[in-house]
Amino acid sequence: MTAVVLITGGAAGIGRAIADAVAAEGARAILWDVDAQRLEKAGADLGDQVRTQRVDVSDTDAVDAASAELRDDWAPTHLVNNAGIIGRRMTLAEVDPAEVDRVLAVNVRSAFVATRAFLRMRAERADAAIVNLSSIAAGNGGAAGNAAYAASKGALQSLTFAMARELAPAIRVNALAPGIIDTDIQKDVFADRDEMNTRIATIPLHRLGEAVDVAQAAVWLLFRATYTTGEVMTVSGGKK
């Protein structure tokens, strides 16, 4: 049976790179995303190896409706909880509770909701695995003004440990903690060239990460790390 990997936030950035890597492995991918245009492009690029659905993964009803359409040969065998946003920069003194709720809904609540859907519809497979996308911000607090993002990624790592324990031995669950990756989600950060150069100087490998760097690690955790569960793998060029 061909592996079918459900990827949230799968139309762009790290999610799309993981979809490409999954397809290169001969597996198929289901992409959930809110960006209809990018979903259409992914469908055109990957053809029969991909199924795309426009889904807001922070919306329980939307997730349930999308998952109801995935049956038979499109029942997923693996899951990547990748959907995430950085959110608006704000100091703790200026925190907007509504913005905090938005970040937590997309970055954390969606992982609960998508995982529930996956467990209800999945096709059993011996190498079944879930990969959650955290961040080094979970350990270092992230950039100034992004406390909500850092907190959400810390919560996702704790969730990873809980999931690994509860779902063993049937499903392995691990997380990836990328560093500074050159994707659209970082466009606001990189708008300041001087700030970008300052950040690059803090990376031991002296370059920004690329989405493909994270995708390579995701493929290993999905398909090859058969005795690894409950772990967080850092993909950051050496940056802590």
- For the chain, report the end-to-end CA distance as a whole number of angstroms: 39
DSSP per residue, 114-128: HHHHHHHHPPP-TT-
Q: Spell out the residues 6+ positions from residue 45 whose beta carbon is closer than 8 angstroms to its own.
A: none
Rounded Cα gap, residues 217 and 234, in angstroms: 9
What residues pair up with 5 in beta bridges, in sequence order?
A: 29, 78
Rounded Cα gap, residues 87 and 104, in angstroms: 10
192-218 burial, b if ≥16 CB within 10 A, otherwise e?
A: eeeebeebeeebeeeebbebebbbebb
Q: Spell out the residues 6+ positions from residue 29 whose beta carbon is closer than 8 angstroms to its own.
A: 4, 5, 6, 7, 10, 18, 19, 22, 23, 46, 49, 50, 51
Given a contact cutoff of 8 angstroms between Cβ atoms, the answer to whether 209 and 182 are in contact is yes
Can 227 be counted among the known catalytic residues? no
Rounded Cα gap, residues 173 and 44, in angstroms: 31
Rounded Cα gap, residues 69 and 161, in angstroms: 30
Q: Which of 20, 25, 19 is nearest to 2 (CA)?
A: 25
Q: Which of 46, 67, 147, 149 is catalytic?
A: 149
Catalytic residue annotation: 149
